[in-house]
Amino acid sequence: MKKISYAIVLQSQLGPRAGTLLLQEEDHVVSGELCLLGRHSRFTGSVLEKGTNPKYLISGALRTRTGREDYDAIFTVCQGRLSGGLVTRHGCWDLTGIQAAVPAAKPERTAAAT
């Protein structure tokens, strides 16, 4: 399974919003986590095009202070740079990013460690 992390910026109607996108890819299926506005949201999707400039389609629900906002996003990755758009019922916003280091997994606690 391939895991890639991106530092992203969503150009929303309230201005730019920084966050992260952790993408996990296996065959033509993707999943991961989108972190925006201090909230973590899971997503699923597919690889539309493989190769040196892969294209992805993901869907999920952004968690906000006032509830959830369903979205679809389509983006391409070229030389470590992500570019595309995120669509909600309120409109479409540019989504850009740059590849970042994948966060290390948290060590599991064992009974001996407690």
Domain architecture of the chain: domains with CATH: 2-102 (2.40.128.120)
Best CA proximity match to 56, nearest among 90, 78, 30, 35? 30
Position 67 scores a pLDDT of 83
Task: Output the CA–CA distances (angstroms, integers) from residue 83 to 3, 68, 104, in the order listed.
Answer: 18, 24, 25
Cα–Cα distance between 73 and 86 in angstroms, integer? Answer: 4
User: What are the two backbone dihedrals, phi and then psi, of residue 112, each rounded to the nearest 5 degrees?
Assistant: -70, -25
Question: What tens digit of pLDDT does each residue of 22-52 get?
Answer: 999 998 999 999 999 889 999 999 999 999 9
User: What are the two backbone dihedrals, phi and then psi, of residue 71, each rounded to the nearest 5 degrees?
Assistant: -145, 160
Average pLDDT per 10 consecutive residues for the chain, totaling 114 residues: 95 92 95 93 96 96 87 97 95 96 59 51
Kindly tell me the sign of the dihedral angle through the C-alpha atoms of 49, 77, 52, 30.
Answer: negative
Q: What's the mean pLDDT when you consider all of the chain?
A: 90
Cα–Cα distance between 69 and 51 in angstroms, integer? Answer: 31
